[in-house]
Amino acid sequence: MAEINIQRKKKRLSPWPLIVAVLVVLALGAWFLVSRDRGPAAAPEPGAPAATPADTVSVPSGDAATTTNPDAPTGDPSVGALAGEGAAADDTGAEPADFYAFVADDPTSSTYARRGLGLLTNVLVGLADRTDLRNPAVEEKRNDLTSATSRVADGGSLRPGLVAAAELMQEMQRRGYATLERDVKKLVDQAAQLSGRTATAAEQQATQEFFQQAANVLRVLEKPAA
């Protein structure tokens, strides 16, 4: 019996894998072309501040950290109180008797120097308008005093105001009070030696002694010259 040679028919390869591969290559090529045509990410506008976390605290460095504000409080209690309330806002219209009564107050009080300068300033400013004392030199010293006390109200030192008060009284003394010359010179010298602070017992005592001497001079100046 003759053998029948049956050959198995070969399977034909499916075209789908090749098609898929071609599509993948085309997709990758298209993606590459699109991404290449895109420009770089837009830079932030120059005026726009960079975003920072809400809880970030900015700490100055270098010279900015050590720069002192000239108007900052000096650390002296009397200056701080004066800066907060104004040099003489609560002493407007003060009379010499008010100043005399004040001088004996406790010099250790944080408001002693402030109130003393405020009372003395208001008394002297009013006195400078008196007919027998009014002249250009007195007016100039009065303006110096009001300018100095206004700077104190902004947190400055008390010393310029104390010195200006003594110099105004000296100019008034020259308007017919020859017997006061020595007392006024002592007052001016005391003012020049004041630090303008009342942080120590010595500074508190020196400030009170200045006000006591100012009261002695004022008792004569408040009356017209003979």
| DSSP annotation of 90 | G
**Of all residues in the chain, what percent carry a pLDDT higher than 90?**
52
Residue 6: predicted pLDDT: 52
Alpha-carbon distance of 119 to 93, in angstroms, equals: 9
Residues 120-135: tens digit of each pLDDT: 999 999 999 999 999 9
Amino acid identity for residue 204 in this structure: Q
Q: What ranges in 62-111 are assigned the alpha helix state H?
A: 63-66, 77-85, 96-103
Burial of residue 195 (CB within 10 Å: 0-12, 13-18, 19+) is middle
Evaluate whether 204 touches 198 at the Cβ level (below 8 Å). yes
68 confidence band (pLDDT: 50, 70, 90)? very low
- Amino acid in the structure at residue 181: E
The CA-CA-CA angle for residues 219, 224, 226, to 5°, reads: 105
Alpha-carbon gap, residue 219 to 101, rounded angstroms: 12
Quote the tokens at residue 50. Answer: 């960079």
Among 22-26, 80-84, 135-139, the range with the most confident prediction by mean pLDDT is 135-139
Give the pLDDT score at 83.
40
DSSP H/E element including 172: helix 159-173
Exposed, middle or buried, 194 (CB in 10 Å: 0-12/13-18/19+)?
Answer: buried
State the pLDDT at residue 45. 54
Tokens 């976390």, located at residue:
53
Residue 4 banded pLDDT, cuts 50, 70, 90: low
Sequence spans of domains, the chain: 77-221
Question: Residue 92: helix, strand or coil by DSSP?
Answer: coil
Mean pLDDT, residues 159-184: 97
DSSP state for residue 160 in the 8-state scheme: H
For range 125-151, the mean pLDDT: 94
Tell the residue number behind the tokens 């770089």, with chain if given: 40
Left if phi > 0, otherwise alpha if psi is -120 to 50, otherwise beta: which for 62? left
Question: pLDDT for 15-64, tens place per residue?
Answer: 777 787 778 778 787 777 767 666 555 555 555 455 444 444 343 444 44
